Amino acid sequence: MIYLDYAATTPVHPRVLNAMLPYFAETFGNPSSVHRYGQQAEAAVDSARENVASVLNCRPDEIIFTSCGSESDNLALRGAAFAMRQKTGAKWILTSKAEHHAVSRTAEQLGKLYGFQVEWLELDEYGMVTPEAVEKAICGGTGLVSVMYANNEIGTINPIKAIAEVCHRQGVLFHTDAVQAAAYLPVDVQSLGVDLLSLGGHKFYGPKGVGALYVRKGTPLVPAQTGGGQEFGLRAGTQNVPYIVGFAEALRLTAEERGQRTAALKPLRDHIIGTLLEGIPDSRLSGHPESRLPNHASFAFKDVDGNLLLTLLDAAGFACSSGSACKTGNPEPSDVLSSLGLPREWALGSLRVTLGSSTTPAHIDAFLKVLPTLVEKVRAIHRR
């Protein structure tokens, strides 16, 4: 099998695994315990927090460890929405239909069950949220804006710094879901200017089941999970020490190797895009042609059943996705592609190809040799 679905998840880096192993059986204490076992575990969490803060260019006490990127998104949206309503009376949340469901469905629930007003931001033809769209939508009652750094499904990179500036001129909190972006884009929160930023470890060669939320000092946030006083009172629950250690090491390696990883994968990505658009009739690139993740190629093929195409690719030895991993198996067009205005006969034929640490030119050549034939096979079935 050739794995081409790194946007869904990545393998754990060997150095990350080695960093984690001692904390499963040797240094196994509860960080909240007073004795030496607990102190050793607490020191590991503190060190991990400092390492993450170093990469994000922030204070250690601005890092909240969570169970995943989705939990980080939930804590950011729920916590900030409730806090801003309590503080200023603001009840409007601005986000887009192109967001990960951890953001868009959380916003929907806040609207349906908790009395907030949700406005969906306009997207351009590439699925990008522009600063102008945010400026147009912000009103006096807006408490929170959430726009992802880079789209997991179509790869488009949003102008986060410029959007943050628009929000802050209006006194509005700004959150970005950087779960997909962190593997290849800088996450210096001072440069980006964000108030809240979500991360998930398994997108950049860390373990599944651990994430983080950056919360700028002074940002009001209501805890979504209460209990003990862990994570500065914002996220109760015994810290997952080995996973937190692994998360920090994975993020450190990502920052250290970002340049070489990008340089290795971007030419392969461009080769895929150029070859497929030229070689497959009725094909189009989804997402921005230039402002996109360096490892990310996504397409829409007219009159193609995307899930059938994935099944045939799997049988041929290639693991890809039809968009967000969360959408696989869903016969309806994804929210992202629908929000771009693609008609159903195009939106159902989506394919996402994402590259990573083990991808070689030979893998790409093999993939490009097989895909056109499989697309035509699926279209022949559609025509029957």
pLDDT at 206: 98
Do 265 and 161 fall into the same domain? no
Identity (one letter) of the amino acid at 359? T
Cβ-proximal residues to 251 (8 Å cutoff; 6+ apart), any chain = 51, 52, 55, 182, 199, 201, 204, 206
Residue 330 has pLDDT above 70, yes or no: no
**Helix spans in the chain (H):** 14-20, 22-25, 36-56, 69-88, 101-114, 131-137, 160-169, 189-192, 241-279, 306-316, 335-339, 344-347, 361-383
pLDDT band of 322, cuts 50, 70, 90? confident
Of the candidates 278, 287, 286, which has an alpha carbon nearest to the alpha carbon of residue 372? 278
Which residue in the list 68, 139, 320, 326 is annotated as catalytic? 326
Q: How far apart are CA 23 and CA 154, in angstroms?
A: 37
Q: Locate 151 and state its tokens.
A: 């789209």
Residue 327 has pLDDT above 70, yes or no: no
Do 238 and 128 fall into the same domain? yes
| DSSP output for 109-136 | HHHHHH--EEEEPP--TTSPPPHHHHHH
- Domain end among 225, 254, 283: 254
Q: Please give the average per-residue pLDDT across 312-336, as a whole number.
A: 79
Do 116 and 201 fall into the same domain? yes
Do 119 and 32 fall into the same domain? yes
Q: How far apart are CA 119 and CA 137, in angstroms?
A: 8
Annotated catalytic residue 167: no
Do 113 and 147 fall into the same domain? yes
Please report, for residues 72, 183, 268, 347, 358, the alpha-carbon distance to residue 265 in angstroms, rounded to integers and kept in the order given.
Answer: 28, 12, 5, 26, 10
Residue 59 and residue 50 in contact, taking contact as beta carbons nearer than 8 Å: no
Q: How many domains does the chain have?
A: 2
Do 277 and 235 fall into the same domain? no
- Domain end among 189, 219, 254: 254
Do 242 and 264 fall into the same domain? no
Residue 324 has pLDDT above 60, yes or no: no
Do 244 and 290 fall into the same domain? no
Do 289 and 167 fall into the same domain? no
| DSSP output for 285-351 | E-S-SSSB-TTEEEEEETT--HHHHHHHHHHHTEE-BSSSGGGTT--SPPHHHHHTT--HHHHTSEE
Per-chain mean pLDDT for the chain: 96
Per-residue pLDDT of 197-233, as tens digits, reads 999 999 999 999 999 999 999 999 999 899 989 999 9
Do 53 and 73 fall into the same domain? yes
- Domain interval for residue 330: 2-7+258-383
Cβ-proximal residues to 372 (8 Å cutoff; 6+ apart), any chain = 276, 279, 280
Do 122 and 233 fall into the same domain? yes
pLDDT at 110: 98
CATH number at residue 308: 3.90.1150.10
pLDDT at 323: 63
pLDDT at 377: 97
pLDDT band of 335, cuts 50, 70, 90? confident
Q: For residue 350, what are the β-bridge partners?
A: 300
pLDDT at 125: 94
CATH number at residue 46: 3.40.640.10
pLDDT at 326: 53
Q: Please give the average per-residue pLDDT across 60-75, as a whole number.
A: 98
Do 212 and 82 fall into the same domain? yes
Please report, for residues 170, 202, 253, 362, the alpha-carbon distance to residue 259 in angstroms, rounded to integers and kept in the order given.
Answer: 35, 19, 11, 22
User: What percent of the chain is predicted at pLDDT more than 70?
Assistant: 98
- Domain end among 254, 270, 298: 254
